[in-house]
Structure formats: structure tokens, C-alpha cells
Amino acid sequence: MIKYNYAIELGGGQTKIYQKDCGLVLCEPTLVAAEATPTGYSVLGLGKKAKALMGRTSDEVEVFTPISNGQVINFEYCQELLEYFFDKLEYKKNTGNIAVLVNCGLTVEDKKLYRDLLHKVGFKEVALIPTAVCTCVGAGKNISSTKINMVVNLGGGNVDIAVINRNSIIKGATLGIGGRNIDSAIAQTIAYDHKIVIGLASAESLKNEVGSLYANDTLNMEVTGVDVESKVPRSYIITSSDIYSIIVPFFDEIIRATEVTINSLPPDISADIINNGVLFAGGVSQISGFDDYLRKNFRYAGKIVDDGEFTSILGAGKLLDDQLLLNKIIENF
């Protein structure tokens, strides 16, 4: 039986790495900062260093993620980013095996890219495990029983919806929307409504600090951007109500897709979900007012996992300590 000593969640927002017997050893933005040169591109920063450059450089510098909708879209930059992360952890190449958390809707080609990527980074054995299954494990659910579990993981790059039974996914879907899409929508709307251009880092801060699903929330935050007309810096107070109408459609779509998934299930399985409820996790699930929103807009019982941003990777950490169960999950995926 192959034994795995690392787990990695390579998300569109954050990359998290768990090491057996050590715990969560890294959590950094999945970002690359590169500058255009006459011969190509030169990398200026990776991870936290790349995020620090957002909105603070010339037009020749691009800050981007090499992961989109759970897929590897730029293999070379993704490899460089992961090698940088594992160098920080002083990992010696070709000494370990790793489990990679991935979306349930990946194609065979997508899965091969992940395996090839981690082999290139320096791992002997690379296994893929569904993020949704890890979420259930991290939330303390028994995934080996005949009891149906349903999880909706709201991540930075996408939303994973999965129905789980006996260590495997029996129905799943991935939505190509996530926290980064909300950030972009906030930045675009503020530019249109308030005539101020702000960076995605500021938009993310707005989402995290004053984003709310309470229609009458009074949270507010001052942001500084560039005036659309005068092109000079200008500050403005943004309130929760300013971005409420931006955020709600994203959650409406997530709930719609979740209910469509439930309604497509056989009656016995959907009855289990009605009785057991749906588990909501991921960083975006922590937005203010989400519990109240679920009560008013979701036709089924919903439970939001505390500290949901780390539920999946901590679940993967539990699986590193239960290699028999981990290998069953790998076999079923």
C-alpha cells in the first residue's frame, strides 16, 4: 500500500499544503507576478510576494493565477510556483508521495495534467482525491457509511457540489464561479457606479471586510483608487449596501445549482439529503449573513462549517493519518 506524506489544495485563491505529522505548513496566494521582456516574461514574485505587487506596478507586470476553474491553465508557471513553495518547506525532491485535492468535474486530461505537474515538482507517487470528500472528512462526517452526505465547497476559483456515499462521489458538479469572480465584479461595479478604479486586492478586502448578505448591513470601508475622469488618486467610503447587489447573484446561482442537483437525484437519496441537510464550506461560505440567506432562500436544511476555508485541507490531513481510507478514496475516484 502506497503511503502519502503530503496533501495539497491548489486553489484559484490560495494554495494550502499539509504535511503528515506536522500539520498545515503553508497557505499562500496561488499567484504569479511576471514582467514582459523582449525575450518573454520574467517572474518578479510568487505567492505572497506576487500578491504584494498587485496594483502597484507598471502595465508591463501581470499578476495572475495559473489555476482557473480548478484546471491547470499554465503548466510552466504553476510548476515554478509549486517548486517555490516546496523549496520554502525544504522538501527534498523524489522523497515523498502527495495527495492532490481536485474538483469532482475534472476530465481525464485535466487529471493527467495534475499528476504530471506534481511529478515534475518532485513527487514519486501522485494521487488525486476529491476536495468535496476531504471537506466531509474535515467536518467530521463518516463518509464510509451508507448515509448520504452532500457538500457545497465555495472556493476562490470555483464552487464544487457533490453527493457522497461510501467513500465516493455519486453525483457532482463544478461551477466556474468563486471568490475571485466576486472580486472582479466588485471592482467593475465600483468603477462604473462611483467612477473609481480599484485593484483586485482592494476589491477582495471589500468582499472580506464589508461584504454581506444582509440587505440592511451598515459595515463600511474606505478604499483608495484612481478617479476615472481626473486620473488622480481619490478615496471613497464603500458600504455593504453598495456591494450587496453585486454579491447576491453569485449566491443565487450557487443555490439554484445545488437545488437542481438535489432534484436530479433518485427519491431515496434526495430524501436522505432532506433529512441530513447540506454542508457548506470554503472561504466564501464565511461571508456575513450567509446563514440567514440560506434560511430564507434555500429549500433544504443547510449547515455552514466553522472556519470553512481550511476544512478541506484539514480533512486531507486526517486522511494522511488513515492511509487505508485514503487509498479507498483514491481507488473510487
Same domain, 18 and 96: yes
Q: Are residues 316 and 286 in the same domain?
A: no
In a domain, 167, yes or no: yes
Asked whether residue 56 is assigned to any structural domain, the reply reads no
Sign of CA dihedral 155, 158, 163, 168: negative
Q: What is the pLDDT of residues 170-193, one digit of tens each?
A: 999 999 899 999 999 999 999 999
Q: Compute and round to an integer the Cα radius of gyration of the chain.
A: 20
Beta bridge partners of 225: 234
pLDDT digits (tens, 9 = 90+) for 288-313: 999 999 999 999 999 999 989 999 99
Residue 321 lies in a domain: yes
Same domain, 209 and 79: no
Sequence-separated (6 or more) residues with CB below 8 Å from residue 256: none
Distances in Å between the alpha carbon of 295 and those of 187, 211, 301, 314?
29, 18, 8, 27
Same domain (yes/no): 155, 298: yes
Is residue 220 domain-shared with residue 236, that is, in the same domain?
A: yes
Asked whether residue 169 falls in the same domain as residue 257, the answer is yes
The verdict on 104 and 234 lying in the same domain is no
Task: Give the range of the structural domain holding residue 199, as residue numbers without chain letter.
Answer: 179-244
CATH code where residue 224 lies: 3.90.640.10
The answer to which of 115-119, 129-133, 200-204, 257-261 has the lowest mean pLDDT is 200-204
- The average confidence (pLDDT) of the chain is 94
266 plus 132 within the same structural domain: no
Average pLDDT estimate for 153-172: 93
Dump the DSSP string for 242-306: HHHHHHHHHHHHHHHHHHHHHHTS-HHHHHHHHHH-EEEESGGGGSBTHHHHHHHH-SS-EEEPT
**Residues 64, 76: Cα–Cα separation, whole Å:** 13
Q: What is the CATH number of the domain that holds 318?
A: 3.30.420.40
Residues 275 and 156 in one domain: yes
For helices 323-332 and 311-320, angle between their N-to-C axes, nearest 10 degrees: 110
User: Residue 1 — very low, low, confident or very high, per pLDDT cuts 50/70/90?
Assistant: confident
Distance, in Å, from the CA atom of 167 to the CA atom of 163, rounded to the nearest integer, reads 11
Residue after which a domain boundary falls, among 244, 267, 288:
244
Report if residue 272 sits inside a domain.
yes
pTM of the prediction? 0.94
Number of structural domains in the chain: 3
User: Is there a single domain that holds both residue 111 and residue 19?
Assistant: yes
Q: Are 18 and 314 in contact (CB under 8 A)?
A: yes
Rounded distance, CA 50 to CA 55, Å?
11
Whether residues 135 and 100 share a domain: the answer is yes
CA distance 250 to 36: 34
* Whole-number Å distance between alpha carbons of 316 and 74: 25
- Are residue 21 and residue 81 in the same domain, yes or no? yes
